[in-house]
Amino acid sequence: MKKETNLNETLNVLFSLKSVRNYSRKEIKKKNLDLILKAAIRAANSGNRQVYSVIVVDDKELMKKYFYGGNKALIFLVDYNRWFDLARHLGYAIEESVDGMRGFTISSMDAMLAAQSAAIAAKSLGIGSLFTTSLHREDMIKVYEFLRLPEKYCFPYLSLTLGYPEEVSKPLKGRVTKGVIHYGKYQSLSQEELQEQIAEYDNEANNLGLVNEQQRKEEGFDHYLSYYFAKWSKSQPKQEIENFYATLQRSELFKVKKFLNLN
């Protein structure tokens, strides 16, 4: 990716963001963790209700199993419990007014913005990070158990691993822009542009790929994207997928009662 020059400090941090998957043992000091959390909750959020929450994890086993061996992980939860508890405390039952999918979407936006702010704050302090949905690939019923999550109105949405990078600095991943950024109106890629973009992914200098190039060639795939589409999306065991949806359903975050007149 072309190196940007003459950037201010904030843009420098933003343009140097990248995922870190190998972490050193160096501890994140409490002072820095507190700053990261403070930056996270500074993020804009719908109605300033903060209908999300964050669990800070540093248990070594959990870090190894789910969070790429980082030093700490922040699990961002779609979570209405605190808000509903406040309402109940004042004698209001507002659960029914949080309309299913919209409520989930808004809470997940709050959670996501906070998570991205945390990643940026971490980077500005020299701390690397990796977003992961690794918990969704686990037995979600067990995830609720070990995090003691409320079954209702709560769902672990996105996690952010934090730690000091061990790896020798890897080049930044490239990004495509055509078909991602639209000006004025939406414009799908033409057949020709699709072909160009397939070549863009194939060009290793652009560093867009996530899979091993050698392996792709050995397996006879002409294009990075053919390999990606054919091989890379591993299917999860059926039971885990069932448990994922079971926890979502149990959370009652998707009851779309109000607008669709469902029970």
Ligand X SMILES: Cc1cc2nc3c(=O)[nH]c(=O)nc-3n(C[C@H](O)[C@H](O)[C@H](O)COP(=O)(O)O)c2cc1C
3-class secondary structure, 161: strand
Q: What is the CA radius of gyration of the chain?
A: 21
Count of residues near ligand X by CB under 6 A? 11
The DSSP bridge partners found for residue 53 are 77
* Contact window for ligand X (CB under 6 A) among 30-38, 130-138, 142-150, 252-260: 130-138
* Contact window for ligand X (CB under 6 A) among 18-26, 29-37, 103-111, 234-242: 18-26
Alpha carbons within 13 angstroms on the beta-carbon side of residue 221 total 19
Instruction: Name which of 1 and 86 has its Cβ closer to ligand X.
Output: 1
What is the per-residue burial (b if ≥16 Cβ within 10 Å, else e) of 58-87? eeeeebeebbbbbbbbbbbbbbbebbbeee
Q: Is 16 in the site for ligand X (CB under 6 A)?
A: no
Taking CA 156 as the corner, what is the angle to CA 154 and CA 159, rounded to the nearest 5 degrees? Answer: 150
Instruction: Name which of 154 and 160 has its Cβ closer to ligand X.
Output: 160
CB of 132 to ligand X, least distance (A): 4
CB of 91 to ligand X, least distance (A): 39
* Contact window for ligand X (CB under 6 A) among 56-64, 132-140, 243-251, 252-260: 132-140
Q: Which residues bind ligand X (CB under 6 A)?
A: 18-19, 21, 130-134, 158, 173, 210
